[in-house]
Structure 1
Amino acid sequence: MASFDLNSINTALSDTNRTVSGVDFSGKSLKLDTDKDAQPIIEAINACPDLQYLTLTGNTLGVAAAQAIAKALEHHPELKVARFSDMFTGRMKTEIPPALSALGDGMIAAGARLSLLDLSDNAFGPIGVEGLAKLLQSDVCSQLQELRLNNNGLGISGGRLLAQALASSPRQLKVFIAGRNRLENDGATALAKVFQEMGTLEELSMPQNGIYHKGISALSDAFKQNPGLRSLNLNDNTIGAKGAAAVADALPRLKNLKSINFGDCLLKSKGAKALAKAFKDNAVCLESLDLSHNEIGRDAVMELVAAARAGARLVLAGNSLGGTANKQIMREKLGESAVLSDGEGSDGDEYVTDSEEEDEESEEESEDSATEDAQHIDTSADFVQDLTLDTSNAERSVELFLQQPTRARLRALGPAAAAVIDAHLQSIKDPTDLIQAYVDATFCVSGLYDDDNTAAEITHKLYPLMLSRVGQQHAAGWLLADTMLRGLGLIKSENKEHRPRWAATGCYRALAAVIERRYFPPALRDTLRFFISAKLATMPEDIKLAILSQNTLHRNT
């Protein structure tokens, strides 16, 4: 993803002959609890007469240390760049707001004017935004051009608080990064209103936020007011056909747009065709377009290729590309920059629809399968409560996911996916079949555990549901253990037709995260550990590394 050259930003905000200088303590893994712990950083700040940047990434600050550093910052009005990502590992959430507030107060007292503020990879949640609010509303951020808040766990409340802070006085951001924050529709809509008033965005990146077409539509309205937008990343949200139509409606205003990443957004054929038509009708000259893993049918893929600029980097892996003739046409039009598969020289991973007509008929149902009410059901507690859901609209989506577990199909089930899957499986009457189905479903989800934050959240909800339902079956303990051992590849399966559809490494990492929870049966825990320990030496290297990187899965723990 393209980003601004920070040196260019600094040069534009300073004298042309000025040398960029500052203090960089990135990656030192320092644990700074007291003002004494922070002394090396304070001394470096005091020794730098022209502190244009301060980088504290990869250390962990307590309140007292942050307050001491803030005192040193009070003497540096020239500060332009604050890189404070990954800075509170191991801290209580209650420590983070006062630490952030103290650093902000130091910059406010100095009269600094930041051009870049990076607070990514700090899991401070909504409460952290409260500590940031004063800084974001102050003159320190009046000239802010780049705000990075990736992977902060903001949630809907945090998104609203952030929007409120940014809206309090006019801002002219060029870059806004806020991926992996579970903003959902409400958080995205609140921020969209801010972007609409802003009008200066050039790069927007909000992947993995659980945003559906309503939030996408609100963002698309904001895009229309930001004609300088060059780069747009909404990867791993649920854009769908309705969201794609809203984006297509905004494209005529975005003459500078060069890069789009809509991978894993459940566009399907109807959404892809809407975008293709908009690209063609409005002569959008994209240099990079990622539409991978969107369950797009063959005809729609060819429309995208026809609409794309020759030589553009078009990523279509994980869709239905058709035969050799189709791929040859794509190569001739797009050149070697086209990405048609996830692996070198292989198209074996592509999504294949039974027919274009069937694909389009199911799109609207999949896109809206998670109702607004269902999105807020909480099943994350260690205990399990019986849930009654109307899943009539989700039956096909669950079946599609269990047949081919992908991130896009999992998102189609909504944030209440664990409860929807649970309701779907409870109709199975035979105890053996029921146990098999619950284990398969749990492994289908947890197989995505490594590369998908949403899958990890759903896994933590699905495991206690599975164990509860299985526990209601007579003499089910041994059968559950046998089924899980086969699913993990620890013993051979007698059923040759029942082959795993999930990634084993993700399943092992997920198991490591839940195996010591109080709802996990001790006998099952001991059995799994025994077999894992016995087979460890002969396991494939990637699985072995996944197991050894955890401290809960083998008997030496």
Structure 2
Amino acid sequence: MSIDLNSLSTALNEPNRTASGVDFSGRSLKLDTEKDAQPIIDAINACPDLQYLTLTGNTLGVEAAQAISKALTRHPELKTASFSDMFTGRMKTEIPPALSALGDGMIEAGARLKVLDLSDNAFGPIGVEGLAKLLQSDVCSQLQELHLNNNGLGITGGRLLARALSASPRHLRVFVAGRNRLENEGAKALANVFQSMGSLEEVSMPQNGIYHSGITALSEAFKENPGLSCLNLNDNTMGPTGAAAIATALPRLKKLKSINFGDCLLKSAGAKALAKSLKDSVLLESLDLSHNEIGREACMEVVDALTSLPDSSDRLTRVVLAGNSLGGADNKSTMKKKLGASAELSDGEGSEDEYVTGSDSDEMEEEQGQSDEDSAPEDSQNHITRDPGEEISLDRSGIEEVHTDVGKFLNNPIVENLINLGSNPADVIDAHLQSIRDQESLTLAYVEALCCVSGLSAESVTAAETARLLYHTLVQRARQQWLLANTLLRALKLIKSENKDYKIRWRIPACYSALAAEIDASYFPAALRDTLKFFVASKMASLPAEVRAVIEKHPNLFT
């Protein structure tokens, strides 16, 4: 995580003070003992004004956390704690005491945090238990930003978090908790807390399996937060009913500038409800309603609502309607003319046919098929060793492609389809695949997407850069290293797949070039690197000539 010093100073409410602190982000350090943590401890002790501490991208054990905690007891001035991606490979039972130790150090120091970031730590509900004391303490009494993205909280974790935050008055400005499977009950628990805050300016809760009843509860809470300027509920099943509930909150949110309701199954009815409310009350700058099964008439109503005032061309920065039924060329031309440079309509997705919109009964009632089981990812807690050549049969039912730009690219990986994903294809692909909950299917989908992109890297700069970003994302998402190794080996045809349905859709020689560019990067797991190099070296003689030619140009693939 990079630190923007100007933003940090603003967050500290001391514009004339130069931010200083300790940043060990991205070092991939394995910190088990006090000795391992000594470089960090020395840096903390040497910093007279520790306003921020960043440990992102390292892995922290209990003893190391306790040692760092002792150093923190002497720094009451600490304002920003960036502890994201900090427990990769740790046992589930290690995380709560490590979190608790770090919290104890800040509590003893009498610190008053403004920013706490614990994203990308798969600690689940049990991790919230380790955080509860800190969240309830005076250390968080002035907390303005809480980032808990991708923590596997589940319903139970959401409830525990809400309980901790409601112990005493909180005045958060920013709340981020995407990819946590909070579902309706977790969302409702947090909505109760939000309602009493009244201070929220940014809420980001994408990909949480929240249905319309949870959305309705959140909508009521948003009404009590009139300063809300940024709202992201992407990839929750909002439906027309949830959209109607949100629409009732919009007239109170006069400062709202950005909305992201992409992939929320709004359908035409939901889009029309939002359009009516937007036209009457909100001066948006950015709106994402992509992939919502919205018909062309409703799309046009949204466009008309956004552009009803004469300042719209100067105000609007981004309007995304891709993946809906935009109508024919005349409709798209009219929309583009009205929206100007802000339009993201994706000609390849639009259809002249309306989506068939069903009744509210088609929204999939949230009570059906949902479970109160904790949803914390536990793959990182299980140290499983398997032979890399051992064949596994993966369930592909969770990764069947739908008719989206990403699905189109994965089924036909050509440069044109990759370009159609926009300026940040890696983020678009990542967001598309995050709906897959089964870890094996998720890993398979990421590897296949990576290979589809990597196969184009020799002919496209965009593909090469996207492959680089996806490698980093893949390593973060895949919690079982044996599974990742096995899947990559098959994708590169270094081991044989027994699955008759397994299809190679990518250009393998270019995949090796993309791998060579990343295999020695600091984030790349050493065990995975060694496994891949071993198989490349041992299988090279039997590989096709065009693949061998590429590998020979990159000795780091086998030495």
Report the TM-score when normalising by structure 1.
0.71
Q: CA RMSD in A?
A: 4.1
Residues 1:203 and 1:450: Cα distance change in structure 2 (over 3 Å) = closer
1:138 aligns with 2:152: no
Once the two structures are superposed, residues 442-467 of structure 1 have per-residue CA deviations (whole angstroms, 9 ceiling, x without a partner) of: xxxxxx88842232428759x9xxxx
Distance in 2 (alpha carbons) for counterparts of 1:546 and 1:276 = 46
1:31 aligns with 2:27: no
1:288 aligns with 2:286: yes
Tell me the CA shift for residue 336 of structure 1: 1.4
1:375 aligns with 2:370: yes
Distance in 1 (alpha carbons) for counterparts of 2:324 and 2:178 = 24
Residues 1:174 and 1:377: Cα distance change in structure 2 (over 3 Å) = closer
Tell me the CA shift for residue 373 of structure 1: 3.5
Structure 1 segment 217-296 matched on structure 2, within 5 A = 217-282=216-281, 284-296=282-294
Tell me the CA shift for residue 20 of structure 1: 1.1
Residue 458 of structure 2 corresponds to which residue in structure 1? none
Residues 1:233 and 1:52: Cα distance change in structure 2 (over 3 Å) = same
Once the two structures are superposed, residues 55-85 of structure 1 have per-residue CA deviations (whole angstroms, 9 ceiling, x without a partner) of: 1111111000000000000000000011011
Contact 1:264-1:407 at 8 Å conserved across structures: no
3-state SS, counterpart of residue 438 of structure 2: helix
Residue 299 of structure 1 corresponds to which residue in structure 2? 297
Residues 1:532 and 1:262: Cα distance change in structure 2 (over 3 Å) = closer
Once the two structures are superposed, residues 135-176 of structure 1 have per-residue CA deviations (whole angstroms, 9 ceiling, x without a partner) of: 000000000000000000100000000000000000000000
Residue 498 of structure 2 corresponds to which residue in structure 1? 528
Which sections of structure 1, spanning at least 5 residues, go unmatched?
Answer: 342-346, 382-398, 410-447, 464-487, 489-504, 518-524
Tell me the CA shift for residue 43 of structure 1: 0.6
Residues 1:213 and 1:530: Cα distance change in structure 2 (over 3 Å) = closer
Residue 157 of structure 2 corresponds to which residue in structure 1? 158
2:304 counterpart letter in structure 1? A
Residue 426 of structure 1 corresponds to which residue in structure 2? none
3-state SS, counterpart of residue 126 of structure 1: helix
Distance in 1 (alpha carbons) for counterparts of 2:136 and 2:60 = 23
Residue 182 of structure 1 corresponds to which residue in structure 2? 181
Contact 2:9-2:17 at 8 Å conserved across structures: no
3-state SS, counterpart of residue 287 of structure 2: strand
Contact 2:158-2:186 at 8 Å conserved across structures: yes
Match of 2:436 among 455, 475, 483: 455
Distance in 1 (alpha carbons) for counterparts of 2:138 and 2:62 = 23
Distance in 2 (alpha carbons) for counterparts of 1:377 and 1:140 = 31
Residues 1:223 and 1:269: Cα distance change in structure 2 (over 3 Å) = same
2:129 counterpart letter in structure 1? E
Residues 1:16 and 1:328: Cα distance change in structure 2 (over 3 Å) = closer
Distance in 2 (alpha carbons) for counterparts of 1:377 and 1:151 = 18
Contact 1:26-1:57 at 8 Å conserved across structures: yes
1:330 aligns with 2:328: no
1:53 aligns with 2:52: yes
Contact 2:120-2:148 at 8 Å conserved across structures: yes
1:90 aligns with 2:86: no
Structure 1 segment 340-419 matched on structure 2, within 5 A = 340-341=345-346, 347-350=347-350, 352=351, 354-355=353-354, 359-360=356-357, 362-368=358-364, 372-376=367-371, 404=402
Distance in 2 (alpha carbons) for counterparts of 1:250 and 1:24 = 40
Residue 16 of structure 2 corresponds to which residue in structure 1? 17
2:74 counterpart letter in structure 1? H
Tell me the CA shift for residue 15 of structure 1: 4.9
Residue 469 of structure 1 corresponds to which residue in structure 2? none
Once the two structures are superposed, residues 188-247 of structure 1 have per-residue CA deviations (whole angstroms, 9 ceiling, x without a partner) of: 110000000000000000001010101100000000000000000001111110000000
Distance in 2 (alpha carbons) for counterparts of 1:458 and 1:211 = 20
1:289 counterpart letter in structure 2? L
Structure 1 segment 438-517 matched on structure 2, within 5 A = 451-457=432-438, 460=441, 513=483
Distance in 1 (alpha carbons) for counterparts of 2:197 and 2:431 = 36
Distance in 2 (alpha carbons) for counterparts of 1:195 and 1:60 = 32
Tell me the CA shift for residue 513 of structure 1: 4.3
Contact 1:116-1:145 at 8 Å conserved across structures: yes
Distance in 2 (alpha carbons) for counterparts of 1:289 and 1:260 = 5
Contact 2:120-2:150 at 8 Å conserved across structures: yes
Contact 1:240-1:363 at 8 Å conserved across structures: no
Residues 1:149 and 1:402: Cα distance change in structure 2 (over 3 Å) = closer
3-state SS, counterpart of residue 125 of structure 2: helix
Which structure carries more relative contact order (alpha carbon 8 Å, separation 6+)?
A: 2
Residues 1:6 and 1:320: Cα distance change in structure 2 (over 3 Å) = farther
Residues 1:56 and 1:249: Cα distance change in structure 2 (over 3 Å) = same
Residues 1:353 and 1:243: Cα distance change in structure 2 (over 3 Å) = farther
1:46 counterpart letter in structure 2? N
Residues 1:169 and 1:527: Cα distance change in structure 2 (over 3 Å) = closer
Tell me the CA shift for residue 538 of structure 1: 5.1
Distance in 2 (alpha carbons) for counterparts of 1:112 and 1:205 = 26
Residues 1:530 and 1:7: Cα distance change in structure 2 (over 3 Å) = same
Distance in 2 (alpha carbons) for counterparts of 1:102 and 1:539 = 47
Residue 195 of structure 2 corresponds to which residue in structure 1? 196
Once the two structures are superposed, residues 379-431 of structure 1 have per-residue CA deviations (whole angstroms, 9 ceiling, x without a partner) of: 999xxxxxxxxxxxxxxxxx9x979456999xxxxxxxxxxxxxxxxxxxxxx
Contact 2:5-2:19 at 8 Å conserved across structures: no
Contact 1:52-1:78 at 8 Å conserved across structures: yes
Residue 123 of structure 2 corresponds to which residue in structure 1? 124
Tell me the CA shift for residue 319 of structure 1: 0.7
Contact 2:169-2:197 at 8 Å conserved across structures: yes
Contact 2:328-2:352 at 8 Å conserved across structures: no
Once the two structures are superposed, residues 325-368 of structure 1 have per-residue CA deviations (whole angstroms, 9 ceiling, x without a partner) of: 11111122111121011xxxxx2233x47445xx22x2524312
Distance in 2 (alpha carbons) for counterparts of 1:143 and 1:197 = 15
3-state SS, counterpart of residue 375 of structure 1: coil
Q: Identity of counterpart residues, as a percentage? A: 64
Contact 2:184-2:366 at 8 Å conserved across structures: no
1:335 counterpart letter in structure 2? G
Residue 492 of structure 1 corresponds to which residue in structure 2? none
3-state SS, counterpart of residue 120 of structure 2: coil
Residue 319 of structure 1 corresponds to which residue in structure 2? 324
Residues 1:316 and 1:64: Cα distance change in structure 2 (over 3 Å) = same
1:267 counterpart letter in structure 2? L
Distance in 2 (alpha carbons) for counterparts of 1:59 and 1:514 = 20
3-state SS, counterpart of residue 498 of structure 2: helix
Contact 2:149-2:176 at 8 Å conserved across structures: yes
Contact 1:224-1:253 at 8 Å conserved across structures: yes
Residues 1:280 and 1:408: Cα distance change in structure 2 (over 3 Å) = farther
Contact 1:150-1:181 at 8 Å conserved across structures: yes
Residue 104 of structure 1 corresponds to which residue in structure 2? 103
Distance in 1 (alpha carbons) for counterparts of 2:265 and 2:298 = 14
1:70 counterpart letter in structure 2? S
3-state SS, counterpart of residue 454 of structure 1: coil
Residue 210 of structure 1 corresponds to which residue in structure 2? 209
Distance in 2 (alpha carbons) for counterparts of 1:148 and 1:268 = 31
Residue 456 of structure 2 corresponds to which residue in structure 1? none
Contact 1:293-1:318 at 8 Å conserved across structures: yes
Residue 424 of structure 1 corresponds to which residue in structure 2? none
Bigger mean CA deviation after superposition, 273-282 or 124-133: 273-282
Residue 113 of structure 2 corresponds to which residue in structure 1? 114
